[in-house]
Amino acid sequence: MSGFSFTLNATDGRARSGVIDTPRGQIRTPAFMPVGTAATVKAMLPESVAATGADILLGNTYHLMLRPGAERIAKLGGLHKFMNWDKPILTDSGGFQVMSLAELRKLTEDGVTFSSHVDGSRHFLSPETSMEIQRLLGSDIVMAFDECPALPATEERQAEAMRLSMRWAQRSRDAFGDRPGHALFGIMQGGVLRHLREESADALRGIGFDGYAIGGLAVGEGQEAMFGVLDYAPDLLPADRPRYLMGVGKPDDIVGAVQRGVDMMDCVLPSRSGRTGQAWTRRGQVNIKNARHADDPRPLDENCTCPACRGYSRAYLHHVFRAGEMISGMLLTWHNLHYYQELMAGLRGAIAGGQLDEFVADFHAERAKGDIPTR
């Protein structure tokens, strides 16, 4: 793990704050990773993503292998150079997305054969090919190839999928080999069933990874069930390695996950919301499409320092959304990513200062007020 390390600096209850060091820079944890699916965080320039405070972003192996192709990106100097982002990148393994997006899937012990949703071409993903693709992309944090079964699923089906994922985790570890400065994370599965989670954690610890993800959550089980798993799952993983909760989430999901010992998260929500006229603020969600904003000279959040809040009224944001202008998605995405990163900075500071309970109480109190009333 030369060149890649995790330092825990503070804890507050089960919550942790620290730093992941990589050759491409530090990742302050708890960290939120914006999603740059197809080699772009949608509606953002990479320097703007960095300006929001993001230390790392996530790329999607499934999308990139299909278009423009991993070999092509490798020939062009790797994903960082391709997309003009020199900080760390985590890539998922393609396992989740091939099961949710690809067509004509055929799953065997060996891997998954599928048709591209882009052009129908046939492809094969396995632990070995996923490791190779993520190597070609130049990913800093590589995810083991796993299977995440669609819900609802029987306990038997969930156990099967988890055990297959654990065999694939071993194959991922073997195929990844030793790559100084690059990390491989294993992914715990098992749905909301504690004994499966325990079995999965045991298997992963036996193999040994640079970090550990909690997969198979945020797939429709609801916040209560998710927090139920997070009440015990992070503690099943080694305390000296980063713990990454995949695909989470809304701001209150993030706060609850951090309280339960999660160090890293990713989600398309802030960027996707930004393109559909939804803003996230300290006082909850704002639907900028709503006619009540049409004459409002106030910013989304008077205390926010993002470009959307410093430069524009709600009336303007309402207008450009209604007019279908690209600046709508550009500004709201920037605001949302800024808000998310500010939340993470607040959480890190609160953990470092031993004041997480107060921070979380304030967070919920502000949200409970709801959006500012129309003036």
The secondary structure element, H or E, covering residue 183 is: strand 183-188
Nearest to 372 by CA among 305, 290, 311: 290
Q: Are 37 and 281 in contact (CB under 8 A)?
A: no
User: Does the footprint of its own copies cover residue 68 (CB under 8 A)?
Assistant: yes
Q: What part of residues 328-357 is at the interface with its own copies (CB under 8 A)?
A: 329-331
Q: What part of residues 18-57 is at the interface with its own copies (CB under 8 A)?
A: 38-40, 42-46
Catalytic residue among 146, 266, 296, 301: 266
Q: Is 362 designated active site?
A: no
- Shortest Å distance, C-beta 289 to its own copies: 13
Omega before 152 within 30 of 0, i.e. cis: yes
Measure the CA–CA gap between 266 and 340, rounded to whole angstroms: 11
Q: Are 259 and 361 in contact (CB under 8 A)?
A: no
- Shortest Å distance, C-beta 323 to its own copies: 5
Q: Of 15, 218, 233, 320, which lies in the binding site for its own copies, with binding defined by CB under 8 A? A: 320
User: Does the footprint of its own copies cover residue 74 (CB under 8 A)?
Assistant: no
User: Does the footprint of its own copies cover residue 321 (CB under 8 A)?
Assistant: no
Amino acid at 27: I
Measure the CA–CA gap between 192 and 157, rounded to whole angstroms: 13
User: Does the footprint of its own copies cover residue 84 (CB under 8 A)?
Assistant: yes
Q: Which DSSP state fits 144?
A: P
Structure-token pair, residue 34: 């914006």
Q: Of 325, 357, 358, 366, which lies in the binding site for its own copies, with binding defined by CB under 8 A? A: 325
Helices (H) and strands (E) in the chain, counts: 15, 16
In terms of CB distance, is 6 or 316 closer to its own copies? 316
- Shortest Å distance, C-beta 101 to its own copies: 14
Q: What part of residues 262-301 is at the interface with its own copies (CB under 8 A)?
A: 294-295, 297
Q: Is 210 designated active site?
A: no
Q: Are 140 and 178 in contact (CB under 8 A)?
A: no
The C-alpha R_g of the chain, in whole angstroms, comes to: 20
Stretch that binds its own copies, among 205-213, 237-245, 253-261, 321-329 (CB under 8 A): 321-329
In terms of CB distance, is 58 or 83 closer to its own copies? 83
Nearest to 230 by CA among 262, 199, 202: 262
Binding residues for its own copies (CB under 8 A): 38-40, 42-46, 67-68, 72, 75-77, 82-84, 294-295, 297, 307, 311-313, 315-316, 318-320, 322-323, 325-327, 329-331
Which residues have a catalytic role annotated? 92, 266
